[in-house]
Structure formats: C-alpha cells, structure tokens
Structure 1
Amino acid sequence: MSQSAGRHLLLVVNPTAGHYTEQRLTNFVQQLEHIGCDVQVELTRRQGHSTEIVRSYLARNTPDIIIAGGGDGTIAEIAQAMMKAPCALALWPIGSANVLARELHIPFDDAENAALLARGTRRTVWPGQITTAEQTTPTLFLQMAGVGLDGWIVQNLSPMLKKHTGRVAYVIAALQLALSRPLPPFKTRVDGISHRTVLSIISKGRLYGGPFALFHHNLHHQPAFSVLLLHRLNPLLIIWQMIMMRLKRRPSSNPAFTILTGETIICDHTSPIPAQSDGDFRGVTPLRITSAPTLLKIIAPPQPVAPSTPSQRSTSGRNTKRR
C-alpha cells in the first residue's frame, strides 16, 4: 500500500498565479488521488484570502498536509496560518518565480511533485517575520524581504503584467522607477550596526528573483539571515565589485554593497520607504525583521549536507560582530 494512502490533503490554489490553468489543476488533483490521497481544493479570491481559508479550515479539521498552490506570496500566506498546526506544508509551484521551491529543490513536474508527497519526506525551516508601520502584527516570509528599490518595484507592479510576463514584469518596473525618480537612502541596522543603504535584501536562502544565486549559504535551518546592503546605484561599481568577489580579491574601501549575516534587521527613515516580503507589498518603514518564534515542517527532498557556518566577515572588507 502507498505510504500516502488515506491521507487527507487541503490544496489551496491561487488562480492568478503565472503558471496556473484549470486543466493543470485537474490533472494534479487526479495524480494525488491516484496515489490514494483525499484532496479538498479551495481557490483564493484576493491577497490574504489563503490565510483566511487555512485558519477557517484548521478550526474544523486537521489535514495531514496543506498544499500551497501558487508562488512565494501564497506560500507565505498559508504558512502564516499554519505555524502552530501539527500538519506539514507542501508546495505546488505554479507562480512566476517560485524562489522557495527552487531553493528547496521541489519538483516543478507535477507527477514528480505528487511522488514527493507520496514519500512524505519532511524538512524543518525557520521562517522570518516582518513588522512595518502599517502592519504591526508580525507577517511571515519564508524566502526573503526587500526594503527600498525592491519595495518600490512591488508596490508599483502591475498584476496583469506580472501574470503575462512573469519575472520580466519586475525588470520593466525597475527600469520605470530608475527613470522616474531618485531613490532616497535610508538607515539599515544589522544586529545594532548601522549602514546607509538604498536597497536592503534580507534573505533566508541563496536565490533572488528566481534561479539567480545572490548569497553563498542557505540559512533556512537557523535563526539568521543573509543581508545585502546596496549603498549606491552605480552599475559600473557594482559590476566591478562583483568581479573582485569572484576573484576573491579585496573590494575598494568605498564599496557599492556589503554582504553579511545577522539576526535582527531594523530599517528607518524620516520619510516612508516601502518594503516587500516574498513578492507582496508589506508597508513602509520603520520596520523590524527577525526570525519567527516557531519552526515549520515542509514536504521537501532531504536537506543536502550543510556547509560550514558562514563567516561574519562582510564582503566590503569590514568585520561585523553579532550583538
């Protein structure tokens, strides 16, 4: 008998996700039923609806697995409602970027994904949480948050353009912003050490914007973040510093960006600076980011052997100390 036989699954699907079709949903449900699962499907109608669906369902039932059908934003919404639930979270990656699914090596082929669910291999991840001036209740994110340029892009992104062009929509929005307004600098404190930035990326994983590796280490398994602090929008200086990093040479004394690790990140400014997490707009500064108090179980392939703990030496050549 299949290990998945008799399992009850709740599949919450965002029908506006970039790679969703009704036929694909029907086929995926049939594959899950073929391996012996009982599947209940719920479609979301708006941002935040995933959280409402899961909370309402968990008040009446205890499924074995809750499947997030969508992108990183949908996953974060569902995780928000699951943090104290005994069931595990699974991913059906049908969004535009699917960064977390790439990070955890979740199969994009639906038949392989169903086989992964049948095996039921679980990994534990440590989500982040963000509070902003507009959202004082902590909001979970599983992959990354961005303050400054990232926030401006998500705040101004056209949902229709994102649906039809995927990651290209972010590039178009970034170019429009670069041509229309200067980006004000703001202060980012990482474990108490202050930095002047125009963009701060706070991440649990290595990847950014899809398959692009921004950091060397995956930190989903510990209460820490990789942090990229962009100090100036100078494309030539950024490219030169990246080349120096690849050659393992010391960058200039006045770097374009700094990469480090930290556990508590605070951003502030005299005027509001927008922020996003897992692709959804979260509000404006002042904001605070820490790891969530509770771990989350996710259906995923076994975790690869972890590399040694990342050094606390930043790529700008300055040492950073935990406080």
Structure 2
Amino acid sequence: MSGRKIIDVIVNPAAGSRNGGLFDAVVQQLHDEGAVVRCFETEGAGHATELAARCAQEAYADVIVAAGGDGTINEVARGLLGSPTPLGVLPLGTANVLAVELGQKLRARSVADTLLHGDAKLIGTGLVNGEMFLLMVGAGFDGAVVSAIQPSMKRRLGKLAFVFEGLKTWLKGPRYPISVEIDGMVDEAAWVVVTNARHYAGPFVLAPTADIADPHLQAFIFQKHSRLAFAGYFLGLALGHVARMPGVHVSRFQELDLSSAGPVPVEVDGDAFQNLPLTISQGTQFLRLVVPQA
C-alpha cells in the first residue's frame, strides 16, 4: 500500500448518528487498504482536544482524523496546533462546512482516498477571545439559532433543526444591537459574521474571495434592524450576493472587538460559545490539513 499507513480517528459518537453508516464504511475502506486504524471516542466537551494532543505527542500516526461535525473538527484542530501531524476530516455533522469548503465528497471511497493520499496543506486560523477557530464566528442571529438547538433536536431533525429555530428567531425580530470596533473604527450592527472560509451554513457562499489557506479574516457587518432586511440578507446568502447588498459592510481586519449593552449569543464553528464581548484576530499558528486530491 502507498500512502498513509497509521491513522488515528477521534470520533464524536453522537455526530449525525455517524452519518448513515459513513463512519463504519470509511474505517472499513481504510482497513481494506492495509492501514492501521485506532479509534478514540469523545466523552464530552473539550475531550477531543485532549485526545488529539495526546495522539500528536505520541507521534505514532501519520494523520489524526476528526470524525464528527465542524465543532468536533475545531476541538481536534486545537489539539494539533504546532504539531507536524496533519489533521484529516471524516465529516459526520449536520452542515459539514469544512468538508464543503474543501470539496470533499461524502462517500466512503472518496473520504478514505483523501485520508490515505491527500496532500497536507497549511491553512490559516483565527482567534476569538484567545481560542482558535477554523471557519467562522457569528454574533447575533446565528448565535441565537445555534444556542437554541439541543443535541437531541439536532440528532432527530438534522438540518431541519436549523431551519425551524432560524424561522423562530427571525419571527421574533432582530434584537441584538452590537457595537463593532474594527482596527480602531467604530460601527453599529444587527448581526456580525467573521469568516475564514468561503462557505457558510453548508453550501452557501458568503465570502467569494475568501481562501482558508490565505491568512485573512473577513467581517460581514449586517447593519439593518428589521425582519424585512434579514429576509433580504437570507436571500442574498442563498444567491451568493451578500457582499454586494446595501446595508452590508465587508472588511478585512487585524483586530475586531464586539460588545453590547445586553447579552448577545455567539456561535463558533457551528457550536454555541460565550456571549459578547469578543475580541477576534488572525491566528498566530497555522494548521496542516489533509485535502482531497485535485
């Protein structure tokens, strides 16, 4: 067999009910190709980071794989910062934004081929209150949606859970006034999304010029406070035209501070985070990520 021979897999046992058998099929494909596969199940929040750091310190595996959604991938990535061992992805989540970003097909043969033979490329990261993120930070609308979804609801409804809670949050109306300070310039917003990637919430293109391998973050500042305005934002996102819409300010930055008079919910890489205030900046460390073959 050519390619990687020893593969450690850190798996979130609750993720997408292991995505209709994708996890077992990928592991079987890896075994069939002659790879030695060790699987470690997470037991709670933060455990994936501990497992990844431990595996990286052992320096036994050729690749350490995050098997789960974008939140699990984030945790494993945190444990691999500064390590020469690359991160692999076995997408088992609801939105699988990173998999979409990489062009990874959700088929066992394709995922296994990537883990065995894909190139390991350096990618940029971001920092939110000193903690690493790979894809995005959302303050306001999407923070409220993610915070409202219980794990049991996500397992039962999948993507429909986000649609259901998104509709409920929209009907309540925008209610999160946010103060934004970008590199010393102050602005006001109803919703803020900071992204390291092109895609958002799965297949939707938010930032057409973004590149996860390019160490630049973009802030999308949605300024209008009304249900009608937010309906327009959602339509623009579906069409890939958000950056050109009135009431949307897009900026690259070195440091961004978000604050508010009241509690504003936040999501980071698809998982609920602490409320505002936040300080967001470009990450100081790169990560080696295994990507599909061209």
Length-normalised TM-score, structure 2:
0.89
Unaligned runs of 5+ in 2: none
Aligned partner of residue 106 in structure 1, secondary structure: coil
Quote the Cα distance in structure 2 between the aligned partners of 1:247 and 1:153: 22
Q: Give the letter aligned to residue 26 of structure 1.
A: D
Q: Which residue of 2 aligns with 1:210?
A: 202
Quote the Cα distance in structure 1 between the aligned partners of 2:236 and 2:93: 29
Q: 2:78 aligns with which of 62, 77, 80?
A: 80
| TM-aligned CA distance change 1:123 to 1:283, over 3 Å | same
Quote the Cα distance in structure 2 between the aligned partners of 1:302 and 1:23: 23
Quote the Cα distance in structure 1 between the aligned partners of 2:102 and 2:19: 24
Q: Which residue of 1 aligns with 2:183?
A: 191
State the shift of 1:234 in Å: 3.2
Q: Which residue of 2 aligns with 1:11?
A: 9
Quote the Cα distance in structure 2 between the aligned partners of 1:260 and 1:48: 31
Length-normalised TM-score, structure 1:
0.82
CA contact (8 A) 1:62 1:87 kept: no
> How does 1:5-84 map onto structure 2 within 5 Å?
7-20=5-18, 23-84=21-82
| TM-aligned CA distance change 1:106 to 1:64, over 3 Å | same
> How does 1:114-133 map onto structure 2 within 5 Å?
114-131=112-129
CA contact (8 A) 2:23 2:67 kept: no
| TM-aligned CA distance change 1:157 to 1:301, over 3 Å | same
Quote the Cα distance in structure 2 between the aligned partners of 1:298 and 1:23: 24
State the shift of 1:57 in Å: 3.0
Q: Which residue of 1 aligns with 2:162?
A: 170
Q: Which residue of 2 aligns with 1:291?
A: 282
State the shift of 1:155 in Å: 1.6
Unaligned runs of 5+ in 1: 132-137, 304-323
Quote the Cα distance in structure 2 between the aligned partners of 1:294 and 1:231: 32
Higher helix share: 2
Quote the Cα distance in structure 2 between the aligned partners of 1:74 and 1:258: 31
**RMSD of the TM alignment (CA)?**
2.6
Is 1:112 the counterpart of 2:137 in the alignment?
no
CA contact (8 A) 1:122 1:302 kept: no
Quote the Cα distance in structure 1 between the aligned partners of 2:227 and 2:100: 27
Q: Which residue of 1 aligns with 2:2?
A: 2
CA contact (8 A) 1:123 1:302 kept: no
State the shift of 1:69 in Å: 0.4
Identity of aligned residues (%): 29
Q: Give the letter aligned to residue 210 of structure 1.
A: G
